[in-house]
Amino acid sequence: MSVTGCRNAESAAPQVQAERGPLVTSGGAVFEVENPDFPTPMNTELKAVFELRDAARNPEGGQPQLGTMARYLNMHARHGVPAENLKVAGVVHAGGAFAVVSDERYRQEHGVDNPNKDVIAEIIAAGGQLVLCGQSAAARGIAREDLLPGVQIALSAMTALTVLQQEGYEVILW
């Protein structure tokens, strides 16, 4: 299957139904893959970092990379990888910065409640990290108290990406 096919798995017309969960139920629907030829290591930490740099096309829609993070967690957990072996981080910057703010701050910017809050809460509850670029926050007037619970601020997205990669996280380029 091509990368494009994987990226658009939720939007394709499948023969089977994609399902959410078990770790994130507000996003990240996945399909069952029976006996894949390429092995999935069950006893290895799978550490992935995603870059969330773009705003949602529709403010009522949601930041698409958050769904990808949820899908990463759900598909591996459904396949049998223990939750303690799944490590995921999202580095948020540039146009994506408002994805991690409170409803009040999101309404100031977009006029609607933040559609990302539930998936963010579930990703963090599953042990994931969301790290906002301090430079992007400052440039957009986003204060620490504007952030959703559990969202961290870094000096910069570059700093967070560098540190996470040094900690063994692999950047997933979508």
pLDDT above 50 for 5: no
What are the sequence ranges of the domains in the chain? 3-33+44-172
At residue 90, the pLDDT reads 99
Mean pLDDT score across all residues of the chain: 93
pLDDT band per the 50, 70, 90 thresholds, residue 4: very low
Cα gap 120→123, rounded to integer Å: 5
Give tens-digit pLDDT for 84-118.
999 999 999 999 999 999 999 999 999 999 999 99
Fold (topology level) of 3-33+44-172: Hypothetical Protein Ychn; Chain: A, (3.40.1260)
Statement: residue 163 has pLDDT above 50: yes
What DSSP letter does each residue of the chain carry, written as one string?
A: --HHHHHTTTTS--SS--B--SS-SSS--B----S-SS---SSS-EEEEEEE-S--SSTTT--HHHHHHHHHHHHHHHHT--GGGEEEEEEE-GGGGGGGB-HHHHHHHHSS--TTHHHHHHHHHTT-EEEEEHHHHHHTT--GGGBPTT-EEES-HHHHHHHHHHTTPEEE--
Tell me: pLDDT of 2 over 90.
Answer: no
Distance CA 93, CA 143 (A): 14
* pLDDT tens, position by position, 50-93: 999 999 899 999 999 999 999 999 999 999 999 999 999 999 99
